[in-house]
Each structure stands twice: as structure tokens, then as C-alpha cells.
Amino acid sequence: QQELCHRDNSVALLQAKNCSLQGAANRVRAELEEKATDLEGKLTTETLNKESLSSNLSQEEAKNDALTWNNQKLQEKVSRYDEEARCFRSDISKLERENRRLYCDLREQKGLVSSRGVQLHTNRIKITMLEQKVESLESDKKAVEVKVGETNKAKADAAAKHADNIRTLWEKLLVKDNQIALVQAEVRHREAEASLVKSAFEDK
């Protein structure tokens, strides 16, 4: 009878110890699961931050492309002005050569003075008009060149700024990637610990 009593006491002690261990295991598992949930929340936040940084990077690159396209169009306009001015100057040169020939004809052929005079006057009017067009083109060209200079400066400033922004964004993205990787690793570690603790107490 004393032996049975002793056995009952041992069983009661083992049961009490088992309950205590089970309670401790449940608390450890709850703490690990809470940490894993918190880490998963941080992982979601870091992922959203990374997506935002990627969006900002795309916007900065689009702005830089727009500035490049606008500058190219202005350069094309300057080239057209140069070509038109060259054609006008060629026409002026031809008319001036014709005028010189007409002056020679006037000296040699007095009878043609009137008609040659009319032609000279007409040519002078054409020359004046063409010269005015050239001046207008030169003025327009200078205005465009000023805009090109301003655009180039703005592009250079923007390019420097965009380059800094893009570099900063890439650095932030790399940092976020590292942070996300660390958080993911910690989540897996916590989940593994919780699983091991749970398996250990279930086996007991």
C-alpha cells in the first residue's frame, strides 16, 4: 500500500511537471508566433516602400527622356533655319551677280537703260525682301538658340539631379532588398524555432 501511494505521488508530480512544461511551451510558441507576425508586417511595409521607390525611379527616368526629346526637336528647328538661311543667301548671291552683269550691260547698251533699270529695281526689291527674311530667320534662330541653351542647361541640371535621384533610389532599393532579405530570414528562423518547440513538447 505504501508503494502504491508512492507511485501515485510520483505520477502526480510528473503530471504537474508536464503541465508546467506544456504551459511554458505554449508561452514560448505564442511569443515566437507574435514575433513572426510582427516581422511579416515589417516585410510587407518594406516591400511597399520598395515598390514606391521603383515608381519614383521610373518617373525620374521619364522626365529625363522628355527633356532629351524636347532638346532634339529644338536642334532640328535650328538646323532648318540654317538651311533656309543658306538658300536665301544663295539666292541673294545669284541676284547680286545678275545685277553686276546688268550694270555692265547698262554701260555697254545705252538703249536698254530703261528696261535694265526696271530689272535692277525689281532685283533690289527682291534682295531687300530676302535680306529681311534672312534677318528674320537669324532673329528666330537666335531665339531658338537661346532656348536651346536654356534647355541644355535645364537638361544638364535636371540630368545631374535625376542622376543623383536615380543613384539615391537605387541605393535605397538595395538597402530595402537587404532589409527585406534579413526580415525574411528572421521570419523563417522564428517559424522554425516555433515549429521545433511545438514538436518537442508534442513528442513529450
Q: What is the pLDDT of residues 155-186, one digit of tens each?
A: 788 777 877 877 887 888 788 877 777 877 77
**12-63 pLDDT, tens per residue?**
666 666 677 677 767 777 777 777 777 777 877 877 877 887 787 788 778 8
Q: Which three cell numbers stand for residue 24?
A: 511554458
- 204 pLDDT higher than 60: no
Instruction: Give, in degrees to the nearest 5, the angle at Cα 11 between 8 and 13.
Output: 110
What does the alpha-carbon distance between residue 80 and residue 93 come to, in Å, rounded to a whole number? Answer: 20
3-state secondary structure at position 109: coil
- Per-residue pLDDT band for 108 (boundaries 50, 70, 90) equals low
Better pLDDT: 28 or 83: 83
Among candidate residues 168, 190, 173, 192, the one with its CA nearest the CA of residue 41? 190
Burial call 94-112: b when 16+ CB within 10 Å, e when fewer: ebeeebeebeeebeeeeee
Helix/strand/coil percent split, the chain, to 5:
100, 0, 0
- 114 pLDDT higher than 80: no
Report the pLDDT averaged over residues 122-142: 88
Q: pLDDT at position 129, please? A: 92
Terminal Cα-to-Cα distance of the chain (whole angstroms): 29
3-state secondary structure at position 204: coil
Q: pLDDT at position 110, please? A: 64
Maximum mean pLDDT: which of 75-89, 109-123, 127-141 = 127-141
Residue labelled with grid coordinates 518537442: 200
What does the alpha-carbon distance between residue 200 and residue 26 come to, in Å, rounded to a whole number? Answer: 12
